[in-house]
Every structure is written in structure tokens, then in C-alpha cells.
């Protein structure tokens, strides 16, 4: 039978952190985890949307255990503050879903000077994971889920000499790079977990073509770019709902049979039930991951090393 939210095991007593929980896939991920009994930290940038999302979940799950924590992934200082707040409240974290992201926007910079898509989609999550690592390792068997996209197939590995694509920017080029970075990060983190002999696991998921506000924001940011409008229209007419699109990351986060290093996605690429998919693009994978780690630690000034068990 097809996996769905009814297959999520009891999450009572567990803590989950979901980035971008104020809408779309993040909201539906937070809703499903709360319904299963988890305490959910809704890490989000837009306070008004986060409050509305919390209200939506409570209307659906009156007994939901929720906490909103302000998080702007485009600011390393905001990431530091959010992580400090989460760690002050929770000695252990069982699930971290690195979900938030931007898609194919015009060239912009984060407050730290990073290319916006690489900065938000990858570097912000890299920094958050690094700062939450002590609590993740305190859990019995934590899971970190990185959310990528089919666009990772068109992405190129990060160039350490020009990770922010200065003079070479393209909206989809930058998006593909950031989504491939999510993919490489998930696999690289799992390899570090295994080398350290810890019980934590890192998995990767993609939602397929889902009708969320991601496409609408992309159209708004570009002033109605043709490709952005095409995908916005396609998602609206044939895309899966946000609730269905969230299933791959929920399965990666909660399925007892899922293992570290696995990839979950819709059965038919961009549509269908959530299933385990093969890891492709293995040629040069080790080198690409090593370069990504070098660039990420250099840019964030944070070391993400997993201490041996």
C-alpha cells in the first residue's frame, strides 16, 4: 500500500524542528508531525505568516505542541540566535527538516554577502545544522532531512573560487547549484555520521511538482519571468497539493525502515506516492562533497565535524 501520514509512528516525546514552517511543504510537514504527537519548533522568517500557520495547525490539531522561533536563513546572525533559542529550550532534537528555500529569483545577496539562493537554501541550513548538532547527537537516533529538487540534476557542483556566481549568475543556474548542494550536503553528513559511529542519520527528499507558494514567489520576484510563470501555471493545474508534496520528507523523517543516506521522492519523478529512489550522479561525488564542505565552513566560519561516538 502507498505510504501516507497514517503510517507515521507515534511521535509523542519527540522534538522536531522544521524550517520554513509558515507555509507550503513546511506547514504540512509541521502539521503532520504535530498530529503524530511531536513537539514541533516552527522556524520561520515571516512572523505574521508563522502565526497564521500555527493557528491553522491548532484548528486541525487542538492538542498540538508548537513553538515558533524566528529564523532568517539569509542571516548567519539570525541562524545563531534561532539555534541558541532552540538549544535553550531543548537538550535533544529528534528530527530536523531543512525545508525552507527560494527558487529562481533575480540576483541578490544575503546580509552576509552570499548569493541569495545558495545562502538561504544551503549555507543557512548548513549553519543551522552545525549549531544544532549537539542536540541532534543527544537524541537516541536523530534524523536530518535535507529537501532538494529535481533541479539538482541540472545543477553544477560548487566552484570554490566562485561559489556565489559573481559575473556568471543565472536564476536557474543558481537554483540548480543550491539544490545540488542540498543533495551533496545530505550525503556528506551521512558519511560523517557513519565515520563517527553515531546513531543519527541524514536523508534527502524532494517533493516533486507541488502547488505551493514557492512558484508564486518566484514569479513575483522576477516580475513574471516566462519560465517561472510556466512552472507556476503547471503547478497550479497539475501539481500535487502541499500535503502530498510533503510526504517524501515526512517519510524520510519518520519511516522506521528508512536508513541514513537514502533518497525519497515521488514514484514518477515529479508525481506519485513517496518511495525510495536511487542515488544518481555518483561520479565525482566524493570530491564534490569535500569541496562543498570546504566552501561552507569557509563562508559560514563554522565547523561541521561529527565527534566520534
- Cβ-contact 172, 151 below 8 angstroms: yes
Q: What CA–CA distance (Å, rounded) separates 32 from 37?
A: 9
Pairing state between β 263-266 and 201-205: parallel
User: Can you list the alpha helix ranges (DSSP code H) found in the chain?
Assistant: 24-35, 47-60, 76-89, 116-118, 124-138, 171-196, 213-222, 226-238, 242-245, 247-254, 285-300
Question: How far, in whole angstroms, is CA 308 from its chain's centroid?
Answer: 25
Question: Under a CB-based contact definition with an 8 Å cutoff, are residues 264 and 252 in contact?
Answer: yes
**Residue 194: how many other CB atoms lie within 10 Å:** 15
Is 264 known to be catalytic? no
CA separation for the pair 219, 231 (Å, rounded): 9
User: What residue has cell string 536563513?
Assistant: 73
Residues with Cβ within 8 Å of 62's Cβ and at least 6 positions away in sequence, in order, are: none
Grid cell of 43 as nine digits: 522556524
Give dist(CA 271, CA 233) in Å, integer: 16
Give me the catalytic one of 114, 126, 175, 231.
175
Q: Which three cell numbers stand for residue 75?
A: 542571516
Q: What cell numbers appear for 68 in the block?
A: 515558533
* Residues designated catalytic: 175
Amino acid at each position: 500500500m502507498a505510504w501516507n501520514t497514517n503510517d507515521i509512528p507515534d511521535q509523542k516525546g519527540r522534538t522536531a524542528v522544521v524550517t520554513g514552517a509558515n507555509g507550503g511543504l513546511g506547514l504540512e510537514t509541521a502539521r503532520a508531525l504535530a498530529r503524530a504527537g511531536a513537539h514541533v519548533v516552527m522556524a520561520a522568517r515571516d512572523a505574521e505568516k508563522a502565526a497564521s500557520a500555527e493557528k491553522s495547525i491548532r484548528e486541525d490539531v487542538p492538542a498540538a505542541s508548537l513553538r515558533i522561533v524566528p529564523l532568517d536563513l539569509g542571516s548567519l546572525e539570525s541562524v545563531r540566535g534561532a539555534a541558541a533559542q532552540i538549544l535553550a529550550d531543548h537538550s535533544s532534537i529528534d528530527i530536523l527538516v531543512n525545508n525552507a528555500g527560494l527558487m529562481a529569483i533575480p540576483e541578490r545577496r544575503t546580509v552576509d554577502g552570499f548569493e541569495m539562493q545558495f545562502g538561504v537554501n544551503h549555507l543557512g541550513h548548513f549553519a543551522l545544522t552545525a549549531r544544532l548538532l549537539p542536540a541532534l547527537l543527544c537524541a537516541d537516533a536523530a534524523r536530518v532531512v535535507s529537501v532538494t529538487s529535481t533541479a539538482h540534476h541540472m545543477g553544477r557542483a560548487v566552484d570554490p573560487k566562485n561559489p556565489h556566481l559573481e559575473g556568471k549568475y543565472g536564476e536557474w543556474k543558481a537554483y540548480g547549484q543550491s539544490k545540488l548542494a542540498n543533495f551533496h550536503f545530505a550525503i556528506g553528513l551521512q558519511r560523517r555520521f557513519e565515520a563517527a559511529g553515531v546513531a543519527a542519520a541524514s536523508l534527502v527528499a524532494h517533493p516533486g511538482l507541488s502547488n505551493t507558494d514557492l512558484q508564486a514567489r518566484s514569479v513575483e520576484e522576477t516580475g513574471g519571468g516566462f519560465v517561472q510563470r510556466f512552472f507556476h501555471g503547471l503547478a497550479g493545474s497539475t501539481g500535487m497539493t502541499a500535503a502530498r508534496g510533503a510526504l517524501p520528507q515526512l517519510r524520510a523523517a519518520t519511516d522506521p525502515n528508512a536508513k541514513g543516506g537514502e533518497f525519497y521522492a515521488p514514484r514518477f519523478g515529479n508525481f506519485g506516492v513517496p518511495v525510495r529512489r536511487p542515488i544518481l550522479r555518483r561520479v565525482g561525488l566524493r570530491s564534490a562533497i569535500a569541496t562543498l564542505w570546504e566552501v561552507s565552513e569557509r563562508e559560514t566560519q563554522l565547523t561541521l565535524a561529527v565527534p566520534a561516538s
